[in-house]
Amino acid sequence: MSAEGTPSVPATPVVSKRRRRLLRRSRLGQYIALVVVLGTLAGAAWFGWRAYDQLVRYPQRAGSGDATVVALEVPRGASFPQVLAQLVEAGVVPADEALYFKLFVLHRGAASKVTAGEHSFRGDMTPEEILAELVRAQRADELRVTIPEGRNILEVADILAGAGFAAGFGRDEVLAAMRDKALLAELKIDGPSVEGYLFPDTYKFPTRATPAQVLRRMVEQHRKVYAGVARAHREATEELEKTLGWGDREIVIMASLVEKETAAKHERPLIAGVFLNRLRFMTFQPKRLETDPTIIYGCTALVEKSPACQQFTDRIRRIHLRDTENPYNTYTHEGLPPGPITNPGKAALEAVLAPKKSRFLYFVSRNDRTHQFSRTIAEHEAAVEKYMRQGAVGDGSAAGAAVVDGADGG
């Protein structure tokens, strides 16, 4: 108490301004640290959930490539990282998904189960399907044979003759079966050979299979794929029948032209559209497709060749462009050639039934496996001059065949 008897009040501690600032900063730092910790935990949880979600859905996610078959030989004793490197290099597994695929395989405990030998993949396969192929047992009594897209009967015969069948049949025996009238009648193929109906794919054949058995299987696969494509594009098939009088065979013939004209998947519908424009546009006369691969086919694959084709080596010359005796010469004959010029894959068949609409009537190679498209003959001739000067080889649709004696086609 004070001297006057008044109770004394404890003095309030005096907190300096500097100390208050320090306290505020300390609390602020604690808040920031808390936010950082919570943010880190939330980020980790989000990334963890995303990674888990990706791994759960990843095995069933279709690849971004097309149906082109990629053959891969896994060496005996190869480690899984080596096999994964092969898959990435071949484009079967995208480089930015290699880690996901590795984790997926490790999670399945399958890294040590990859079998040595030849495996076949497609760009549209799911990781689940890729893994199933990697661990597939290699059977000694079975041959795996891959027929790439765009191969004609001569090339397919070479592949089959060299596949190692037990019968040891050669190229001539395979070609004889491909042209056998009795077999063609059995398979209901209205043509001189099975050209166009040997679906490009990877097959498993018994080692003792005969040429006829092999061909039956490939034609069966073509019919199966074609039926699915036709069902998916029923209106388009009906429209082609109504406007051009086409049936299944004509669609296959057109698909074979598209297959030979480009290996670029995105160009197939556009090239199909160019050919269809030539046949449909009333202002385009005469209705010649003028595509170089048809000339080459008539000069190489037919049993009976025209006098001009008998002089064919590896380049189209003026006499080949003007050859009226080559039934496959679309520079002298209007409309489609008499038959397919190769065995088209699914993408080429789909391109004919789902062509890209345009006003283009011409195209020429740009020397990079793609084409320059034009609406008028003047535009086209300018493109031909530009790209021929760079060394392009003519590749069709009035592209101005790069013949060695100066003809300009179209």
Q: What is the CATH number of the domain that holds 101?
A: 3.30.1490.480
The string of pLDDT tens digits covering residues 321-333 is 999 999 999 999 9
The string of pLDDT tens digits covering residues 108-132 is 898 999 988 888 888 888 999 999 9
The string of pLDDT tens digits covering residues 226-276 is 999 999 999 999 999 999 999 999 999 999 999 999 988 899 999 999 999
**214/354 same-domain check:** no
**253/384 same-domain check:** yes
* Boundaries of domain holding 152: 142-227
The string of pLDDT tens digits covering residues 132-171 is 999 987 776 788 899 999 999 999 999 999 999 988 999 9
**241/385 same-domain check:** yes
Q: What is the mean pLDDT of residues 369-383?
A: 93
pLDDT at 11 over 70: no
**375/253 same-domain check:** yes
Residue with structure tokens 């009967």?
Answer: 153
**295/314 same-domain check:** yes
Query: Is 284 contained in some domain?
Result: yes
**200/222 same-domain check:** yes
**170/76 same-domain check:** no
Point out the domain boundary residue: 97, 115, 134: 134
Q: Residue 391 region, left (φ>0) first, then alpha (ψ -120 to 50), else beta?
A: left
DSSP 264-306: -GGGHHHHHHHHHHHHH-TTS-S-----HHHHHHHHHT-SS--
Number of domains in the chain: 3
Give this prediction's pTM. 0.70
Residue with structure tokens 């100066």?
Answer: 406
Burial degree of 252 (CB within 10 A; 0-12, 13-18, 19+) = buried
pLDDT at 207 over 50: yes
**257/328 same-domain check:** yes
Query: Is 394 contained in some domain?
Result: no
Q: What is the mean pLDDT of residues 281-294?
A: 94
Confidence (pLDDT) at 201 = 95
> In angstroms, rounded to a whole number, what is the distance separating the alpha carbons of residues 405 and 323?
15
Point out the domain boundary residue: 91, 116, 134: 134
**267/382 same-domain check:** yes
Query: Is 324 contained in some domain?
Result: yes
